[in-house]
Amino acid sequence: MTMLPPISCLTIVPLLGAIAVLMLGAKSKKLARGLALAFAFVALAITLILWFRFNPHSGGLQFEEVYSWIPELGVQYHVGIDGLGLLMLLLSAIVVPMAMAASWQIQGKISLYFSLILMLEAGLFGTFTALNFFHWFLYWELSLIPAFFLIRLWGGPQRATAASQFFLYTMVGSVALLLAFLAIFLCTGKFDFMDLADLAKNGQLVSAFAAISDWHRFTAEKIALILCSGVFLGFAVKVPLVPFHTWLPATYAEAPAGTTMLLTGTMSKMGVYGVLRILLPIFYVQLRVVRTPLLWLAVATIVLSAYAALAQKDLKRIFAYSSINHLGYCMLGIFSILKFTGDDPGLATEKAAALDGVFLQMFNHGLTAATLFWFVALLEKRSGGLRGLDDFGGLRKVIPVFCGLMGIALFSSMGLPGLNGFVGEFLIFKGTFPLAIWPTSVSVLGLLLTAIFILTILQRVFSGPLQERWSHMPDLTVQERLALLPAIGLMFVLGLYPQLVLGVINSTAMQMVQQLRF
């Protein structure tokens, strides 16, 4: 059974799919779509196999593969997953077919579109499994290019600016990331995240920077801080954190629905994942120095984005800001555990809880936000492109099933107990409260604002007076219902039985906390 390295296979499958779709799908729309979906399902199947063969009691890396690659540069092909990685793989594998389903009626070069989505998926898988900077960064950028084209070629009227903004912002972040890692490599000669984390743990990382402090006035600590902020910038843009978020609303609004789902569902997680996998283990000493500003940055993200969402008229923009808001909670959780707690076992538990919450929140938000954007797409299809808050009203009478299902997703996003959104946010707040009282308290404001704008949507779109022009709007078709069912189902399942996921991620969270103990 262990003949094929599962992770490499998982990464290659969508890549092969992308090529196959591009080659074969040029002639026939149906073939292109079917083929792409088939490959996405194969990837999902492999992910599920990984899920079931994963040992949930170990917090370490599993399914590791290490091959020598470019010995001159200390580059190895090193992949592996822990609970977090596995969760992200599963999320990507789920969101991609959803995105494909949402793009079923896309116009233009179908084969290229689906091929790009598969390429994006490969990039995602790679990013979530790679443990050596070299190919991690490769995947990180690989996902950027298809996303750019998806937006640029199939986006809305303002796609040109949106795509440029998206690309430039993330590129600037990437460059910062790359330069920082080059500097790290030049000092340490290592590219492997695990090795670098070990160096950091032993305190050798900073002393390695001392090598370059002799020709500059900077001390090694300062250099470490500069490099840390370079890496941080790369991730902060991707997540995004206020004030690096300005690319996001326009991009989400202009991107075609399927792409927006991918962007919010998976690509934003790349940023959070990067922080957890790379920034935190390597630079926790430096991060700890600036913990308080970072925490308030997270709070600003949460509150401001929720407030901004309140002011929007465009459904897509509302959800875009809500995305920023939800990921803000993740960042809050992450930054809060930087607190030095010594050997206090109680606080360690809280940290683990916060981390669990962060993991869960990543997954949940991915699922919920993607579903919400899907609903917007379905609505747009029925309204002929309209998606303003004021364009509708009383739809619940015309399309009850649609409204019901979308309502569930909205409540999930709001964090209603019983649905998936609640568990993650609850765990985060539970964990962070003892670690960072004031920021947590302020960020609760975000929850409130979220509730307000979600209820506004419910009120303005679903209830109220029905506009005459929508009186013949068709409800969800059977296919659409079937396609949506798994996503809605999953929201319930995770809301009622979070253990399903927690079981997998808990030991990983524990281990991370262990690592950051001192």
Partner 1 sequence: MRAPWQLADPNDPGNLTMLAWTIYISFLAVPVLLLLPKTSSRAARVFALLAAAAGFAVTLWGFAQQQSGALVTVARIPWVPSLGFEYHLAADGVSMTLLLLTGIVAISGVLFSWNIEHRTREFFAFYLALIGGVYGVFLSFDLLLLFVFYEIAIIPKYFLIAIWGSTRREYAAMKLALYSFVGSAMVLVGLIAAYVVAGTRTMDLVQLSQFPFPAHFQMWAFPLVFLGFGILAGLWPFHTWAPTGHVAAPTAASMLLAGVVMKLGAYGCLRVAMTLFPRGLDAWGFHVLGFGSWRDVFAVLALIGIVYGAMVALVQRDFKFVIGYSSVSHMGFVLLGLMTLQQVGLDGAVLQMFSHGVLAGLLFAVVGRMVYDRTHTRDLSELERMDLSKALPFAAVTFVLAGMASVGLPGFSGFVAELQVLIGTWRAFPSFAIVAGLGIVIGIAYTWRAMQKAFFGAPSHSASAPTAPLPPISLAERIGAVILLCASVIIGLYPQLLLRVIGPALHSPLFDGLWKGSGR
145 near partner 1 (CB under 8 A): yes
Both tokens of 145, joined, read: 């290019």
Contacting partner 1 (CB under 8 A), which of 148, 166, 169, 252?
A: 148
Shortest Å, Cβ 194 to partner 1 = 19
Contacting partner 1 (CB under 8 A), which of 19, 186, 448, 455?
A: 186
Nearer to partner 1 among residue 68 and residue 202 (C-beta)? 68
How many of the other CB atoms lie within 10 Å of CB of 111? 24
| Interface characters, 87-116, with partner 1 (x: CB under 8 A) | ----------------------x--x----
29 near partner 1 (CB under 8 A): no
C-alpha triplet 322, 328, 333: angle, nearest 5°: 140
| Interface characters, 242-281, with partner 1 (x: CB under 8 A) | ----------------------------------------
Nearer to partner 1 among residue 109 and residue 381 (C-beta)? 109
Half-sphere exposure of residue 461: CA atoms within 13 angstroms, side-chain side:
26
152 near partner 1 (CB under 8 A): yes
| Interface characters, 53-82, with partner 1 (x: CB under 8 A) | ----------------xxxxx---------
Half-sphere exposure of residue 446: CA atoms within 13 angstroms, side-chain side:
29
Instruction: Read off φ and ψ for residue 3, nearest 5 degrees.
Output: -70, -45
Stretch binding partner 1 (CB under 8 A), from 134-142, 246-254, 398-406, 409-417: 134-142
CA distance 183 to 501: 38
Question: Which of 168, 169, 167, 125 has its CA nearest to residue 146?
Answer: 167
Nearer to partner 1 among residue 8 and residue 467 (C-beta)? 8
Both tokens of 80, joined, read: 């592996």
Site for partner 1 in 356-415 (CB under 8 A): none
Please check whether residue 228 is in contact with residue 287, taking contact to mean a CB–CB distance below 8 angstroms.
yes
Shortest Å, Cβ 359 to partner 1 = 27
Half-sphere exposure of residue 130: CA atoms within 13 angstroms, side-chain side:
25
Contacting partner 1 (CB under 8 A), which of 134, 169, 422, 462?
A: 134
179 near partner 1 (CB under 8 A): yes
Q: Quick check: helix, strand or coil at residue 324?
A: helix
Both tokens of 395, joined, read: 């739809």
321 near partner 1 (CB under 8 A): no
Shortest Å, Cβ 411 to partner 1 = 40
Contacting partner 1 (CB under 8 A), which of 24, 45, 160, 500?
A: 160
Would you put residue 121 in left (φ > 0), alpha (ψ -120 to 50) or beta? alpha
CA distance 414 to 300: 19
C-alpha triplet 224, 230, 232: angle, nearest 5°: 100
Both tokens of 359, joined, read: 């993991």
Nearer to partner 1 among residue 212 and residue 496 (C-beta)? 212
CA distance 192 to 76: 8
CA distance 163 to 144: 11
Nearer to partner 1 among residue 126 and residue 421 (C-beta)? 126
- Residue carrying structure tokens 């790349």: 270
Stretch binding partner 1 (CB under 8 A), from 136-144, 259-267, 314-322, 446-454: 136-144
CA distance 492 to 486: 10
210 near partner 1 (CB under 8 A): no
C-alpha triplet 142, 135, 164: angle, nearest 5°: 25
Nearer to partner 1 among residue 164 and residue 511 (C-beta)? 164
Shortest Å, Cβ 327 to partner 1 = 25
119 near partner 1 (CB under 8 A): no
Residues that bind partner 1 (CB under 8 A): 69-73, 109, 112, 134-135, 137-138, 141-142, 145, 148-149, 152-153, 160, 163-164, 167-168, 171, 175, 178-179, 182, 185-186, 212, 215
